[in-house]
Amino acid sequence: MKNSAFITGATSGFGRAIAKKLSLEGYKIIALGRREDRLKSLADELGNTHIIACDIRDKDAVFNAVKNLPENFKDIEILVNNAGLALGVDGFNEASLDDFEVMIDTNIKGLIYATKAILPIMKERKSGYILNIGSVAGSWPYAGGNVYGGTKAFVKQLSFNLRNDVRGLNIRVTDIEPGLCKTEFSEVRFKGDKAKADAVYEGTKYLSADDIAQVVLNCISLPKHVNINRLEVMPVTQSWGGLYVLKD
Ligand code: NDP
Ligand code: 8X3
């Protein structure tokens, strides 16, 4: 049995697929998310899984959960900071400030809480790998991407800066930046409007959550002296739209 892999947002999409993939590789899984029923069914399916049903925005809950990990799950080698969401595609002026705050609190502050709680364990063990799930939205602007893209640009830059701060500790850091992938992401973004969510993926070949889980596993499987700094992954069907020029 390998060490523990701590995965945030493990109730759905990438997180769930990554938990399954790493479990098959022999890692013990620590799975965090809000939907406890889903965490329980994941644990039943995988075995050797410790579940943490909490909101990543709840700083005390995150720190307490890490502090109170069962003894045999304390050897965290892998942290996948995956929990996150986009809300809406409105322009900045029309979009809801509450939605902005949820994205900032989850994608930025939640990621900081989990990393701050777990990094001392990796430092102590002088070994670890932090994989942050960024997005193409952190590099490439699009209409309605405003604050969501901003949070993912933060994830990228924090990942780079973290690399400097863990120098000498034998800890790897990678920002994985997926493009179009069908998960519950768009249902969340369109607040349960399934028709709008489905339209995002209609008529094209998108990535699967398992593709991203495989990318995570590929990174982990590289020799320990190799650090991928950022890894952008799109389906072949996705490319850039070019710059927009307003004409009279
Ligand atoms: P899903 O909606 O399928 O999964 C999101 C996961 O995040 C769920 O497990 C959810 O769990 C968890 N989560 C959300 N908010 C919280 C919270 N407050 N506390 C704890 N957990 C939370 O989407 P994806 O799998 O696609 O998204 C995973 C990550 O990938 C996100 O960071 C997203 O921004 C990013 N991403 C997605 C892309 C895509 O096209 N799908 C592309 C690029 C990046 P629960 O609701 O149970 O709490
Ligand atoms: C998710 C990908 O293009 O919808 O981060 O922002 S995108």
How many H-runs (helices) and E-runs (strands) does the chain carry?
A: 9, 7
pLDDT higher than threshold 90 for residue 214: yes
* pLDDT per residue as tens digits for the range 149-197: 999 999 999 999 999 999 999 999 999 999 999 999 999 999 999 999 9
* pLDDT per residue as tens digits for the range 25-40: 999 999 999 999 999 9
Q: Is 148 a catalytic residue?
A: yes
Please, what's the b/e burial string for 164-182 (b: 16 or more CB within 10 A of its CB; e: otherwise)?
eebeeeebbbbbbbbbbbb
**Residue 7 CA, ligand 2 centroid: distance in Å:** 20
Inter-CA distances, 181 with 186, 208, 234, Å = 9, 6, 8
Residue 1 has what pLDDT? 85
Residue 115 has what pLDDT? 99
Residue 232 pLDDT class (50, 70, 90 cuts): very high
**Residue 31 CA, ligand 1 centroid: distance in Å:** 13
Select 4-233's CATH number: 3.30.565.10, 3.30.420.280, 3.40.50.720, 3.50.50.60: 3.40.50.720
The span from the CA of 43 to the CA of 135, in Å, is: 28
The span from the CA of 8 to the CA of 105, in Å, is: 14
Across the range 11-27, mean pLDDT stands at 98
pTM of the model: 0.98
Cβ 137 under 6 angstroms from ligand 2: yes
* pLDDT per residue as tens digits for the range 37-83: 999 999 999 999 999 999 999 999 999 999 999 999 999 999 999 99
* pLDDT per residue as tens digits for the range 95-141: 999 999 999 999 999 999 999 999 999 999 999 999 999 999 999 99
Inter-CA distances, 172 with 4, 47, 71, 214, Å = 15, 27, 24, 18
Ligand 1 pocket test: which of 7, 8, 12, 182 has the largest number of ligand atoms within 8 Å of its C-beta?
Answer: 12
Catalytic residue from among 148, 201, 206, 244: 148
